[in-house]
Amino acid sequence: MNGVHDVLAPAGPQALALFHLWNAMLVACVVVFALTMAVLAVALWRAPRAGERTRPDLDAHPRREATLRRSVVWGIAGSSVLLVVLLFASFFADRALSALPLADAVHIDLVGHQFWWEAHYEPNSPERTFATANELHVPVGRPVLIRLRADDVIHSLWVPSLGGKKDLIPGRESTLALRADRAGTYRGQCAEFCGYQHAKMALVVVAEPPADYERWSAAQRAPAREPATAQERRGLALVEQTSCAMCHAIHGTRARARRAPDLTHVASRGWLGAGAVENTPELRAEWIARAQKFKPGVNMPPLDAAPDDLAAMSAYLGSLR
């Protein structure tokens, strides 16, 4: 699945704060490791050779005893200072994460399911709200406030290039604020083991210039495009009559269920099944017939349909831009 997935390539202030913390910890660990190895090397170098007394009596060597005491004191003092410094670094990084001004934030409700992401944009604004799944678009330079909920088990949202992890816990609400300062496609991943297909619970975040974002969100708010060809019309009829409509919603059609990803604009997404399969006509048809082949354990049941019917459904869904 494409998209930047890299803690070391921060694209916003939250990820940058964590990147600095990561660097500070790396430097501290490298210095401590190097010092420890140096002390170990000296100790080995000065260890008694064969034939020497193996346990020098410290009382008989007051200088050695004093050196030993001093090393222990310096060791404890050094570790304590370092831990306090790292504690402060971690505290300030945490403060930086929540310092984002949210006045003009884009609001997104994100619900974690086994094994996909349900998104509702601007849930408090009836004329601006719309639903989508597994692929978020955000405007560059504007904060995004994501309210997180879990539908079944604990999931965790993690888009490394944009920010840290935040758990989605059933029965609890949490929020995560992010801002993307660079346009790009960033890959996110469920970061808490949530079942068989935890690994295939990816999330794509497309950060784009504000004008592009407005265009995208206006298109997402619109109802589904009317089928234009005979094949697409047949595809829509099949989607409405088969098991698809029992779980999925396509606005403007008779499919109105809410158990599975909203398909109103499914063709605008690059992937199906939360990053499981590329959204191409052939793979889409195969996914409809046998999602279990790509993502065993997913809730999508197999569909026993003729190749023509699958092609028609795939063509219709492929027209839903």
**Residues within the interface to ligand CUA (CB under 6 A):** 112, 115, 155, 190, 192-194, 198, 201
**Nearest CB to ligand CUA, comparing residues 129 and 292:** 292
Residue 80: Cβ within 10 Å count:
10
Query: Whole-number minimum distance, CB 297 to ligand CUA, in Å?
Result: 12
Nearer to ligand CUA, 148 or 263 (CB): 148
Q: Which C-beta is closer to ligand CUA: that of 190 or that of 204?
A: 190
By beta-carbon proximity to ligand CUA, the closer residue of 111 and 162 is: 111
Least Å from the CB of residue 199 to ligand CUA: 8
Our CB check for ligand CUA shows the closer of 121 and 158 to be: 158
Choose between 88 and 196: whose C-beta lies nearer to ligand CUA: 196
CB of 149 to ligand CUA, least distance (A): 13
Q: Give the shortest CB-5-to-ligand CUA separation in angstroms.
A: 15
Cα–Cα distance for residue pair 131/261, rounded to 1 Å? 9
Query: Closest separation between CB of residue 262 and ligand CUA, Å?
Result: 18
Distance, in Å, from the CA atom of 267 to the CA atom of 283, rounded to the nearest integer, reads 13
Q: Which is nearer to ligand CUA, 204 or 250 (CB)?
A: 204
Q: How far is the CB of 205 from ligand CUA (least distance, A)?
A: 16
- Kindly state the smallest distance separating residue 150's Cβ from ligand CUA, in Å: 8
> Is the peptide bond between 88 and the residue preceding it cis, with omega within 30 degrees of 0?
no
